[in-house]
Amino acid sequence: MTGDTEGDGIDTDSIDLVTPGDVEDARERIGDVVHRTPLDTSRTFAERSGAASVGLKLENVQRTGSFKIRGAYNTMAQLDASQREAGVISASAGNHAQGVALAGQLLDIDTTIVVPAVTPAAKIEATRGYGAEVLVEGDIYERSYEFARERADETDETFVHPFDDEDIIAGQGTIGLELREQFPDFDTVFVAIGGGGLISGIGTVLKAHDPTTRVIGVQPEGAAHAKPTLESAQGEPIHELADVDTVAEGIADTRLLETTAANVREVVDDVVSVSDREIATAVTLLAERAKTVVEGAGAAPLAAALSNAVDVTDEHVVVVISGGNVNLTDHAELTRTGLHELGRYAEARLAVDGWPTAVSDVVETVEAEGAELDVLERARRGSGLGTDAVDHPNRVPVTVGLEGSGPDHLSAVLGALDELDTVRVVSSSQ
């Protein structure tokens, strides 16, 4: 469960907000380093959301697999000689880590990254691959952040914040400049919020160009801290969660900080939350329909666009796909959950007579019904299936995972299995 606490008050007047000029300067600084990522349109997602069109800004194909290199390089390129000599330290859930590491490699700056234990192994190994030292400290990002700040004070390393910094925000805002050029007449943009740096930068550019453009922040239900802060009055505390719980570890922050909170309140129209199951469904649809691998945090904005949280009927919509750094095993689990949510995956427990020869009956029946057999595992006898059909000494408990075109198709497959002389369907979950 997540609990709520109160942080420091927001005094917008005392904070220098990022300007469109800052973002333009950042683009000049990073232009030869970052990719101008593609913006693909999707008829499928337009139809599912009711929008006139949906554009996907694919930052998952950016260098390091996410947008983070934009802000990291913009910040580190401005360090003076003494700061570069001292080295850089940062904290990250994974994507910022790779951005800082690559920037350090390109600028010849030693980098150390502190990550929480929940960080996927793929992100840690990729960060080390760019030459950074990686330290695993803390169970969530906030603990890693505290450790990194304490070490920076002790060693004089330059701390590069993952989001609460004007140069970081300006670098991320270069995505907004590209959006204006690639898809100039959109009505609404969906952007994930972790610490708020990405949406602060994008919103700054878009609102300066057209104040009527809706900027919608998206958070997972298990890390939904930003909306109370957005809606709070001047000087009220920043809303902070005591803990987070979500598959989208890239945006599993507990709060905004002063700089991002002030910028978010200036340029964001609303913040909505989505469930982990909705995120998994979006990951699945992106893999199937857009042919792109996306992590949970990167898929959250699409999950919101496909939900009923915001009415986008007949609008032109942009969804920022912020990152694609995900372990393949985690991606497989997310897509399996997504297929289940779409009614296209079922798990069943079978009692099979005549193991292992009867297994061929199962395989042939599934194939004949036009479905895919994803899992077939022999279960331990007495493993809690709890029926006479399974506990009979001549029958073997088996679990199967089936992928089909929809609930009716899967029901037909299970019915065909149950009609076999050698198989009994004990239970199923669709």
Q: Which residues are catalytic?
A: 68, 322
The sheet with strand 372-378 has its strands ordered as: 372-378, 395-403, 345-353, 423-429
Q: Which residues are CB-neighbours of 416 under 8 A, at least 6 positions away?
A: 365, 368, 369
H helices, E strands: number in the chain: 18, 16
d(C-alpha 175, C-alpha 142), whole Å: 26
Cross-strand bridge partners of residue 377: 399
d(C-alpha 322, C-alpha 70), whole Å: 12
Question: Mind giving me the DSSP string for 128-140?
Answer: HHTT-EEEE--SS
User: Rg of the chain over CA atoms, in angstroms?
Assistant: 24
| Contact present, 253 and 284 (Cβ < 8 Å) | no
Burial of 369 (0-12, 13-18, 19+ CB in 10 A): middle
Question: Mind giving me the DSSP string for 216-262?
Answer: EEEEEGGG--HHHHHHSPTTPEEEEES----S-GGG--S---HHHHH
How many angstroms separate the first and last alpha carbons of the chain? 27
Token pair in block for residue 119: 């960080």
Burial of 20 (0-12, 13-18, 19+ CB in 10 A): middle
Cross-strand bridge partners of residue 121: none
